Amino acid sequence: MNVFSNPHTAPMPLSEIPFPARQGSSALFASSSSALQVDIAVIGASVAGLFTAQALAKLGYRCALIGPEPVYARHQVGFDQRIFALSPASWAWMQDQGLSAAIQSQRLGLINRMHIHAPPLGSVEPIVFDAYRAALEQLALTVEQSELIAAGQQAVAMAGVLRLQESLVGIDPPVLGARAASGLQSALQAGQTRRITLEHGKTLEARLLVGCDGAHSGLRKLAGITSRRFDYKASAVVANFACGSQHRHSAYQWFTDQGILALLPLPGQALSMVWSAPQPIADRLMSLGGESLRRHVQAFLESLGSDAPVLVSCLNQPASFPLIESLSDSPTAQRLLLLADAAHVVHPMAGQGLNLGIGDMIELTDVLSRPASRHDPGQAPCLERYVRRRAEPVAALSLLTRRLYQWFEQRPTPLLAAIGAWGWSRVAGSSLIQSALIRQAVRHGPN
Ligand SMILES: Cc1cc2nc3c(=O)[nH]c(=O)nc-3n(C[C@H](O)[C@H](O)[C@H](O)COP(=O)(O)OP(=O)(O)OC[C@H]3O[C@@H](n4cnc5c(N)ncnc54)[C@H](O)[C@@H]3O)c2cc1C
């Protein structure tokens, strides 16, 4: 069964945003009280915030999206520095939401095959995940962050989301419904709201606050939600390279004693690199600059016996991102929910951070589309239902990425390496196991 249609035959891309997102339909929200009143206020206007706000507005909730415009430039020569691998489940949701139609198909890359190497385990075969053998069209798709932001901004504008570009600076405790004198009065009489303060003193009342304000979430801190943080003492160095031959939609990953190096296929003859390296190595890589970095990476790949296409030029400025894991002790508080990186940040080795965030959106929109949620999306039973559904996938991904990282970082003893090599060979040698793993990932995706 194909769950994932070929993006090159996707519907016609829409043109640029027809009007600035910030104009939204603000008039809809006019209120005689000093505080604006909405059903749901989404904090943070990057990918997670944009996607969430448009999805909730389409369910019929009055939504505000709060936060400065993310800095991004669309259609860059040499591609955006930020490239995401999206799972079939995430892409299918984006298609349902109409988001995929706004993304230019010629800027999408396909991953049909994934080669995973583990040199520290000795001469083990690579594990190759193959979409064709698992009877799928693709394992995943690569897309620039700028395309996702553009699609999200367009959807937010068209869904009539109130767009406020100020940052959140404060939240009040829950407010009794009796104080909500106008605007949503009938709906609010039975419930409560939370009041937030934005820069320049503007205030807003919402029955539910959704935090999409990233790894350093201010909303999380203001709400007093603690989080467990693990510092990998490493950074991910990213750069895009032109390659000398067709990549044939193959992705590559090496678990090495110098970190985890991944190459993801971009459209045409280009590959996107993510090298998650211990901090001293990452610093050295960043000090090289584009062309020297390419030479260094190519030499390293050759030392690993790489079967990936040769890297011939560096297409853009390299960038680096410090690597942490951060898990909120609870993704929810009274009338408040944290989503995506605000709730959980995981190591990017599996390319699943945003996919996990899209999984959050899928569950939240499902919970809030039920009749029981309609009169009050911030009521505790709705939020608890959401939290129960998301606990397991987040914990599983955090466990998998952290354990894998630590296992390779600590340089396995000969005995552990032998056990690891045995397990690795079982997976590498069995297309049945590979297909089962792929199907599991595709069926559940970010869920
Ligand atoms: C190297 C690397 C590679 C990755 N690769 C992948 C991949 O292949 N696939 C994948 O699925 N994931 C990947 N990820 C993870 C992915 O990058 C993140 O999960 C995703 O970008 C999180 O998006 P977000 O919108 O939640 O947060 P952010 O992008 O951090 O956005 C947060 C927004 O909140 C705003 N904000 C902050 N404070 C306030 C405030 N007080 N008021 C209002 N607004 C505020 C900010 O301005 C920003 O716009 C990768 C991560 C890294 C580091």
- Residue-by-residue pLDDT tens, the chain, 447 positions: 344 444 444 443 433 433 344 444 444 454 445 678 999 999 999 999 999 999 999 999 999 999 999 987 787 778 999 999 999 999 999 999 999 999 988 899 999 999 998 877 777 788 888 888 878 888 999 999 999 999 999 999 999 999 999 999 999 876 554 444 444 444 444 458 999 999 989 999 999 999 999 999 999 999 999 999 999 999 999 999 999 999 999 999 999 989 999 999 999 999 999 999 999 999 999 999 899 999 999 999 999 999 899 999 999 999 999 999 999 999 999 999 999 999 999 999 888 899 999 999 999 999 999 988 888 999 999 999 999 999 999 998 888 888 888 777 776 677 777 777 777 677 777 777 767 777 666 654 544
Instruction: Answer yes or no: is 168 within a domain.
Output: yes
Instruction: Answer yes or no: is 102 within a domain.
Output: no
Q: What is the CATH number of the domain that holds 156?
A: 3.50.50.60
Residue minimizing CA distance to atom 39 of ligand 1: 213
Instruction: Answer yes or no: is 422 within a domain.
Output: no
Counted domains in the chain: 1
Instruction: Answer yes or no: is 307 within a domain.
Output: no
Instruction: Answer yes or no: is 375 within a domain.
Output: yes
Q: Residue 245: count other Cβ atoms within 10 Å of its Cβ.
A: 10
Q: Is 129 helix (H, G, I), strand (E, B) or coil?
A: strand
Instruction: Answer yes or no: is 435 within a domain.
Output: no
Q: In angstroms, what is the span from residue 121 Cα to ligand 1's centroid? A: 33
Closest-CA residue to 2 (of 137, 119, 190): 137
Range of the domain at 333: 15-68+150-226+329-400
Q: Residue 269: count other Cβ atoms within 10 Å of its Cβ.
A: 15
**What's the farthest any 2 CA atoms get from each other in the chain?**
72
Kind of pairing between the strands at 250-256 and 259-266: antiparallel
Predicted local distance difference test score (pLDDT) of residue 289: 87
Q: In angstroms, what is the span from residue 345 Cα to ligand 1's centroid? A: 9
Instruction: Answer yes or no: is 285 within a domain.
Output: no
Q: In angstroms, what is the span from residue 310 Cα to ligand 1's centroid? A: 31
Predicted local distance difference test score (pLDDT) of residue 72: 78
Q: In angstroms, what is the span from residue 44 Cα to ligand 1's centroid? A: 9
Predicted local distance difference test score (pLDDT) of residue 19: 35
Q: What is the CA radius of gyration of the chain?
A: 23
Q: Tell me how far apart the alpha carbons of residues 263 and 274 are, in angstroms, rounded to a whole number.
A: 7
Q: Tell me how far apart the alpha carbons of residues 133 and 343 are, in angstroms, rounded to a whole number.
A: 35
Ligand 1 atom nearest to CA at 45: 49
Q: Residue 137: count other Cβ atoms within 10 Å of its Cβ.
A: 16
Predicted local distance difference test score (pLDDT) of residue 440: 66
- Does residue 274 line the site of ligand 1, with CB under 6 A? yes
Instruction: Answer yes or no: is 79 within a domain.
Output: no
Predicted local distance difference test score (pLDDT) of residue 35: 79
- Does residue 191 line the site of ligand 1, with CB under 6 A? no
Predicted local distance difference test score (pLDDT) of residue 21: 41
**Two structure tokens written together for 206:** 């919402």
